[in-house]
Amino acid sequence: MATDTTTDGPAAAHAAAAEQSPRGAKKRFLHDAAESVRDVDHRAFVRKALGGYYVTRDAQKARYGNWETARDAASLAKWSAVNRLDELLPRFADNFTANGGQVHWARDAEEAREIILGLVRAAKAKAIIKSKCMTSEEVHLNAALEQEGYGVVESDLGEFIQQLRGEPPYHFVFPCMHVRRGEISDLFSKHLGTAATDSPEELTMIARRHMRQLYVDADVGITGANFLVAETGQISITENEGNARLTAALPRVHIALAGIEKVVEHLDDLAVLLPILATAGTGQPMTCYNTLYSGPARPGECDGPEEMHLVLLDNSRTAILADPEQRDSLHCIRCGACLNVCPIFKNVGGFTYGTTYQGPIGSVITPHLRGLADWNHLSGASSLCGACTDACPVRIDIHHHLLHNRRNAARTAPNRWEKLGHKLFVAVATRPWLFATGGALFRHSLKLLKWLRPPLLSDWLATRDLPAAPAASFRAQWASRQGGR
């Protein structure tokens, strides 16, 4: 069946534009955030979609003997690996090679694209099937493959829907959680010629039937990897649908793309990391398929790829590694728990971030990946409530890292107005007579401000009221009460 894979969503263009002109990233963020917050239906829809997650996650957490200790163990496993990457990365690569796989190292996104394009050309690929891989979103792999004329189909249901919509993932675990079933039905009718339906089951079956032959026809399968096991040279892939299993089973060549921070030392570490990833991410005891691959099919095995390649990507991960304060953000296992609990994410939505990795963890790491000056505004998109840190199964100190980013930004590019403001405050606060005069002036001018609507305040006042000014200052009230005693 010929598939019309032309896409029509504005978000891909949006994301690309954000990348090309990062100076506009903050402006766009503020604009899109305001738009999203205004869209009450959208917010209600996202909240409802997440409602079930809280229930199943809590039920599953209760099955742990001690969830907090499990988090400790998981964070220890990642800490111990990330802080010994110098030893474990070569060990993993050597073991993976000994198993018959080929390792390729990519310093940056461009090199990763070049390597994969080279492998695809060498395989003389006619069709490529892909399973969900956020790292490939990070390096814009699909665009590079399509530019060279290679058709590539996303097989994860959510990613497939997003591919047809021409949008990047809305959420890095739930790519199309913002899309209503009616829209999906229309999308499938338009691109696949199927009849309209409002049943999620029927829509899933449409995608399943469409994809079946594509797995058989594809010569190259591209996947990500959740963990790289140093001691055995295996990669571990976590998924629910079985599409990654099929992608790594049927095509002749299997290419996996993974960040260097995915290394763990022992196979046994997965006995903790796999269940904790599932529980934090989706509230499952285990994700449906957790699969270890150690290279191409072995002699004597009845199927499987003839070649297996693994592309190990740096792309500024070593820059995060070089910051001991925020090094733990490389512990991230991309479960998405911090997005699911974040009041900002739930209000501004996934696209507003304009990043590959949305939500709190995305706000921490994006400045490292794309530049602090242009992406520090994401650190301000936080209520600092700490829900992300509480939810993180590997104990990344997420909300403090947002503060660290703010501090670092202030150090490297001080904001003159902010500095002036602080100086002014110090000048006033250290002089009681000035403080009293200023306070009185402010109390009396509050009404005036509301009426004058100066440009600095007009955005705020458009949707909010100014508080009523008290008749007397706090100090005056305090003095009178003390006196009344």
Partner 1 sequence: MSAPANLSPRSSRPGPSARDTILARVREALRIPAPPPHLKSLAAEEAAVPAAGQGHSGLSILPLEVARPWLPDGGDTPEERRAILVTNLEKLRAIVHQVPDLTAATELVFTLARERDWQRVAYHGHEKVDPLLAGIPCATHRVDAPGVHPASAKSALEACDAGISACEALVAQTGSILVSSATCGGRGLSIVPHVHLVVATPDQIVSTLGDALHEAQQRHAGRMPSMLSFITGPSRTGDIERILVLGAHGPKELIVILVG
Distance between CA atoms of residues 243 and 431, nearest Å: 68
**CB 410 within 8 Å of CB 418:** yes
Residue 212 token pair: 């079946």
DSSP tag of 262 = G
Task: Give the one residue of 20, 40, 41, 201 binding partner 1; rule: CB under 8 A.
Answer: 201
Smallest separation (angstroms) from partner 1 to the CB of 249: 4
287 binds partner 1 (CB under 8 A): yes
Pick one of 300, 454, 455, 484: the residue that binds partner 1 (CB under 8 A).
Answer: 300
How far apart CA 232 and CA 88 sit, in angstroms, is 11
Distance CA(169)–CA(36), nearest Å, equals 16
Describe the crossing of helices 416-429 and 432-452 by its angle, rounded to 10 degrees. 130
Which of residues 242 and 439 has its CB atom nearest to partner 1 in the complex?
Answer: 242
Scanning 63-71, 413-421, 436-444, 462-470 for contacts with partner 1 by CB under 8 A, the matching segment is 63-71
By CB under 8 A, what part of segment 233-262 binds partner 1?
Answer: 234, 240-243, 245-246, 248-250, 260
Query: Which range touches partner 1 (CB under 8 A), out of 20-28, 57-65, 362-370, 450-458?
Result: 57-65
Residue 366 C-beta: closest distance to partner 1, Å: 19
Question: What number of other Cβ atoms are within 10 A of residue 30's Cβ?
Answer: 15
For partner 1, the binding residues in 304-343 under the rule CB under 8 A are 304, 312, 314, 318-319, 321-322, 324-325, 327-328, 331
- Is residue 43 near partner 1 by the rule CB under 8 A? no
- Mention every residue, 6+ apart, whose C-beta is less than 8 A from residue 123: 219, 220, 252, 253, 307
Q: Contact, 89 vs 96, CB < 8 A?
A: no
- Scan residues 90-109 and list those touching partner 1 (CB under 8 A): 90, 93, 99-100, 104-107
Distance CA 141, CA 409 (A): 30
Helix axes 40-61, 25-38, angle to 10 degrees: 90
Cα 55 from Cα 61, distance rounded (Å) = 10
Gap between the Cα atoms of 58 and 21, Å rounded: 42
Half-sphere exposure of 40 (CA within 13 A, CB side): 0
Q: Does residue 35 belong to the site contacting partner 1 (CB under 8 A)?
A: no
Of the residues 149, 454, 467, 484, which one makes contact with partner 1 according to CB under 8 A: 149
* CA 407 from centroid of its chain's CA atoms: 23
* Phi and psi angles of residue 264, each rounded to the nearest 5 degrees, phi first: -125, 160
Choose between 19 and 72: whose C-beta lies nearer to partner 1: 72
Q: To the nearest whole angstrom, how small is the minimum distance from the Cβ of residue 171 to partner 1?
A: 11
* Residue located via tokens 């964070």: 75
Q: Measuring CA to CA, which residue among 348, 330, 443 is closest to residue 394?
A: 330
DSSP assignment string, 277-292: HHHHHHS-SS-SEEEE
Q: Which is nearer to partner 1, 29 or 215 (CB)?
A: 215
Does 269 bind partner 1 (CB under 8 A)? Our answer is: yes
Least distance (Å) between residue 452 CB and partner 1: 47
Closest contact distance (angstroms) between CB of 39 and partner 1 is 17
Can you tell me which of 175, 350, 354, 359 binds partner 1, judged by CB under 8 A? 175
Name which position in 40, 301, 411, 441 contacts partner 1 (CB under 8 A).
Answer: 301
> Is residue 44 a contact residue for partner 1 (CB under 8 A)?
no
* Tokens representing residue 375 in the block: 């992406």
Interface residue with partner 1 among 181, 407, 444, 447 (CB under 8 A) is: 181
Binding-site size for partner 1 (CB under 8 A) equals: 127
208 lines the binding site for partner 1 (CB under 8 A): yes
Exposure string of 149-158, with b = 16+ CB inside 10 Å and e = fewer, is ebebbbbbbb
Q: Phi, psi at residue 234, to the nearest 5°?
A: -105, 155
Of the pair 80, 473, the CB lying nearest partner 1 is at 80
Supply the minimum distance, in Å, between the C-beta of residue 423 and partner 1: 33
Residue 65 binding partner 1, by CB under 8 A: yes
**Does the protein bind partner 1 through residue 77 (CB under 8 A)?**
yes
According to the binding rule CB under 8 A, does residue 196 interact with partner 1? no
Which CB, 73 or 384, lies closer to partner 1?
73
Judged by CB under 8 A, the stretch of 121-129, 370-378, 401-409, 420-428 that binds partner 1 is: 121-129
Report the site for partner 1 in 395-454 (rule: CB under 8 A): 395, 397
Compute the least distance from the CB of residue 243 to partner 1, in Å: 4
Is 258 in a helix, a strand, or coil?
Answer: strand
Quick one: which segment of 201-209, 350-358, 438-446, 468-476 binds partner 1 (CB under 8 A)?
Answer: 201-209
Region near partner 1 per CB under 8 A, out of 19-27, 145-153, 408-416, 475-483: 145-153
On whether the CB atoms of residues 265 and 271 are closer than 8 A, the answer is no
Angle (CA) 44-459-17 rounded to 5° is 70
